[in-house]
């Protein structure tokens, strides 16, 4: 028995003592294969799941490594049955392989004949498999490659996809590291280079062929995408969350690569341009008319060599079906968190690919590439009258009542005054609450109904310092580049969404010129579901090493 920071239990939970001097090293070591479930003050609970272990196996970590990590950091003897279960679970990945046969084309190849027989006899695989070649091989129609991978994962036998990819239409793309396309105010080029972790991410993706890169907001995921495009040297389809994001991608590619304006097309509600590099929004791709997805022809409009999914954790369900048909294309998912509130991480694993690179946020912060962040939860007590209204409300109404508690307006005013002059975002979910806050603060408001040109005008004014306060709805959660923002005040959110919490903190993490830290405030109504949801929202960031200080609203000062 050692004095390690970890308690490994037979129910597949791992308890990490946060205050232990080895806790940070242990957190990094278990991150590739364990999922954080709860993160209160002193002991964090992780869980081992088949998907987490298969993701680790696909990324090159074997059972021996997982076992050695648990043995190294565990305070007590690790249950022997659990070690056996880990080894057997990880061994299930890759016993079936998708390969290209020179005679028969796409083939499901078994390293274990009994597993192939089990899969072939399953009703789930009916119609997905073709003729049997021999004891270890069966033909697969190329159109079923994605669907079969989904089914095999659900059957507990995730396939290793070694079938390769079509080259796609060649198109020259190079990174403009000399900065010729991005001159400074004096007109001189601004040279730059990919950071070491960005190069590692691109290498990990390219070696694996397809998969997901996980990097903090502000760590340059767009540059990773550009680097993958330069490696691919092919036509590229980029799928993004909204039109503002599409135009930010376009601007960044024009600055950082050899691509010209004529080579980049936008495929959105406003424009329908198909060019060698085409940036399309998820919204237009999932638009239905008379029950038909009318823009699916974009997938076949060119012989794409690479498909990039920005904010892959937000991938709409219909895009999964489209992705099942794109298995012969290289696919790159970019995200700050693989957490999906709908539980469809397995779909990302089977259809986009496994996690190929994951950089802990605190590691990137320690290297100076993202700003340090101070996270504070401000709790206020609702007046007795409001508490009685909340207590007698229907359950479905309680979150809105707590999240929009009138007392939050005064707290926000105090926090804005405390950081007077600093670029500040006030973020929320409910439009009437945000309209009231904007009026109180004398600040501009951006919601889903704000036109794209007006959004861009306000974002530009915020970037240049013309305005220092913006009140924004959830439209600002994703893919918005506001490098100067250093304060965010969250008043309400999408219930207990961990991904949203990560995205909102991420708005602040671009390094500041003077090295100052970012400040992230969550204003929460005490003794309500607002407080419960806040605890759930913070789980992902706790896994990344961020701790929330809890203060009482009455103790706030505006010095």
- Using pLDDT thresholds of 50, 70 and 90, give the confidence band for residue 183: confident
- Write down the pLDDT at residue 107: 96
DSSP state of 74: B
> What pLDDT score does 395 carry?
84
Q: pTM of the predicted model, to two decimals?
A: 0.80
Query: If DSSP states are collapsed to H, E and C, what string results for 48-85?
Result: ECHHHHHHHHHCCCCHHHHHHHHHHHECCCCCHHHHHH
Burial of 372 (0-12, 13-18, 19+ CB in 10 A): middle
352 vs 1, residue with greater confidence: 352
Q: Could you report the per-residue pLDDT of 199-221, keeping only the tens digit for each?
A: 999 999 998 889 999 888 778 89
Q: Is 423 left (phi over 0), alpha (psi -120 to 50) or beta?
A: beta
Region at 287 (left for phi over 0; alpha for psi -120 to 50; beta for the rest): beta
pLDDT at residue 291, as a whole number = 77
Residues 364-396 pLDDT 10s: 888 888 878 888 889 999 999 999 998 998 988
> pLDDT for 402-436, tens place per residue?
888 889 999 999 999 999 988 898 988 889 999 99
* Model pLDDT, residue 187: 81
Q: Which of 324-328, 330-334, 345-349, 427-431 has the highest mean pLDDT?
A: 330-334
pLDDT level of residue 196 (50, 70, 90 thresholds): very high
Kindly indicate the confidence band of residue 325, based on its pLDDT and cuts at 50, 70 and 90: confident
Do the Cβ atoms of 190 and 184 come closer than 8 Å? yes
User: Looking at per-residue confidence, does 466 or 362 come out higher?
Assistant: 466
Q: Which residue has the tokens 């709805």?
A: 473
Q: How far apart are CA 405 and CA 402, in angstroms?
A: 5
Q: Which of 313, 93, 348 is CA-nearest to residue 210?
A: 348
The residue with greater pLDDT, 113 or 345, is 113
Distance in angstroms (rounded) separating the CA atoms of residues 26 and 29: 5
Q: What percent of the chain has pLDDT over 90?
A: 48
Q: What's the CA gap between 548 and 374, in Å, rounded? A: 8
Lowest mean pLDDT among 72-76, 334-338, 541-545: 541-545
CA angle 172, 246, 150 (to 5 degrees): 80
pLDDT of residue 173: 96
Q: Is the dihedral of CA 72, 76, 77, 78 positive or negative?
A: negative
Going by C-alpha positions, the residue among 353, 352, 372, 350 that lies closest to residue 361 is: 372
Report the chain's mean pLDDT, rounded to a whole number.
Answer: 87
DSSP letters, 179-219, are -TTS--TTS--------HHHHHHHHHHHHHSSEEEE--TTS
For residue 132, the SS3 value is: strand
Strands (E), 394-504: 424-427, 444-446, 469-472, 487-490
Distance CA 122, CA 182 (A): 56
- Spatial distance between the Cα atoms of 23 and 26, rounded to a whole number of angstroms: 5
What are the structural domains of the chain? 6-91 (no CATH), 96-161 (3.30.70), 196-359 (3.40.50.300), 371-555 (3.40.50.300)
Strand partners, 8: 14
DSSP 40: -
For range 144-156, the mean pLDDT: 94
d(CA 88, CA 82): 10
The predicted model gives 489-498 an average pLDDT of: 72
What letter would DSSP give residue 240?
A: E
For 4, the token pair is 């390690």
Q: Identify the bridge partners of residue 139 per DSSP, sorted by sequence position.
A: 107
- How sure is the predictor about 557, in pLDDT bands with cuts at 50, 70 and 90? low
Q: How far separated are the first and last CA of the chain, in Å rounded?
A: 51
Beta partners for residue 522, in sequence order: 377, 490
Determine the pLDDT at residue 476: 66
Q: Predicted confidence band at 558 (pLDDT cuts at 50, 70, 90)?
A: very low
Check residue 60 and give its pLDDT. 86
Please tell me the predicted confidence (pLDDT) of residue 550.
Answer: 87
**Tens-place pLDDT, residues 17-50:** 988 999 989 988 998 899 877 766 688 889 999 9
To 10 degrees, what angle do helices 384-391 and 395-403 make? 150
Neighbours of 57 (CB within 10 A): 24
Per DSSP bridges, beta strands 137-140 and 105-110 are antiparallel
DSSP letter assigned to residue 175:
B
pLDDT at residue 559 in the model: 43
Sorting pLDDT into bands at 50, 70 and 90, what band is 513?
low
Q: How many CB atoms lie within 10 A of CB 178?
A: 11
**3-state secondary structure at position 129:** strand
- Location of structure tokens 């999240």: 403
pLDDT at 160: 93
Q: Distance between CA atoms of 18 and 86, rounded to whole angstroms?
A: 24
Residue 248 has pLDDT above 60, yes or no: yes
The span from the CA of 350 to the CA of 357, in Å, is 16
Say if CB 508 and CB 373 are below 8 A apart. yes
Structure tokens at 261: 């304006």
């Amino acid at each position: 028995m050692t004095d390690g920071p970890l308690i490994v239990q037979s129910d597949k939970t791992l308890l990490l003592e946060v205050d232990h001097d080895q806790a940070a090293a242990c957190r990094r070591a278990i991150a590739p294969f364990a999922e954080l479930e709860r993160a209160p003050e002193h002991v964090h609970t992780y869980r081992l799941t088949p998907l987490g272990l298969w993701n680790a196996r696909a990324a090159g970590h074997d059972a021996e490594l997982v076992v050695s990590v648990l043995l190294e950091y565990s305070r007590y003897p690790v249950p022997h049955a659990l070690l056996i279960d880990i080894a057997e679970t990880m061994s299930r990945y890759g016993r079936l392989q998708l390969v290209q046969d020179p005679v028969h084309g796409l083939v499901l190849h078994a390293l274990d004949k009994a597993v192939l027989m089990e899969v072939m006899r399953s009703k789930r695989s009916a119609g997905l498999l073709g003729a049997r070649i021999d004891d270890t091989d069966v033909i697969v129609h190329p159109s079923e490659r994605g669907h079969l991978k989904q089914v095999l994962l659900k059957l507990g036998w995730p396939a290793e996809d070694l079938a390769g990819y079509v080259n796609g239409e060649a198109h020259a793309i190079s990174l403009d590291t000399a900065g010729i396309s991005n001159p400074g105010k004096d007109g001189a080029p601004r040279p730059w280079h990919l950071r070491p972790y960005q190069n590692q991410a691109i290498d990990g993706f390219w070696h694996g062929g397809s998969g997901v890169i996980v990097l903090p907001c502000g760590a340059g995921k767009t540059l990773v995408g550009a680097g993958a495009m330069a490696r691919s040297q092919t036509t590229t389809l980029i799928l993004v969350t909204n039109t503002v994001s599409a135009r930010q991608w376009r601007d960044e590619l024009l600055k950082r690569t050899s691509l010209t304006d004529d080579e980049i097309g936008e495929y959105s509600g406003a424009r329908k341009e198909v060019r060698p590099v085409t940036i399309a929004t998820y919204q237009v791709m999932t638009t239905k008319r008379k029950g038909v997805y009318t823009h699916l022809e974009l997938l076949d409009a060119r012989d794409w060599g690479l498909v990039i999914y920005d904010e892959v954790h937000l991938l709409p369900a219909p895009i999964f079906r489209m992705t099942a048909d794109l298995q012969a294309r290289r696919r790159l998912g970019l995200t700050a968190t693989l957490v999906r509130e709908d539980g469809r991480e397995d779909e990302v694993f089977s259809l986009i690919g496994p996690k190929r690179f994951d950089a802990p946020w605190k590691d990137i912060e320690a290297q100076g590439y993202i700003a340090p962040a101070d996270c504070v939860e401000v709790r206020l007590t609702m007046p007795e009258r409001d508490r009685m209204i909340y207590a007698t409300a229907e359950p479905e109404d309680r979150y809105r009542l707590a999240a929009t508690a009138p007392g939050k307006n005064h707290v926000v005013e105090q926090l804005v005054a405390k950081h007077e002059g600093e670029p500040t975002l006030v973020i929320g979910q409910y439009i009437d609450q945000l309209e009231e806050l904007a009026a109180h603060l004398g600040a501009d408001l951006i919601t889903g109904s704000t036109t794209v040109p007006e959004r861009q005008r306000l974002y530009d004014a915020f970037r240049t310092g013309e305005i220092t306060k913006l009140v924004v709805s959830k439209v600002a959660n994703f893919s918005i580049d506001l490098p100067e923002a250093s304060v965010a005040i969250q008043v309400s959110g999408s219930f207990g969404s961990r991904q949203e919490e990560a995205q909102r903190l991420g708005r602040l993490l671009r390094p500041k010129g003077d090295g100052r830290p970012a400040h992230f405030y969550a204003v929460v109504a005490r003794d309500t579901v607002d407080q419960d949801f806040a605890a759930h929202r913070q789980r992902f960031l706790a896994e990344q090493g961020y701790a929330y200080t809890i203060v009482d609203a009455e103790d706030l000062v505006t010095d």
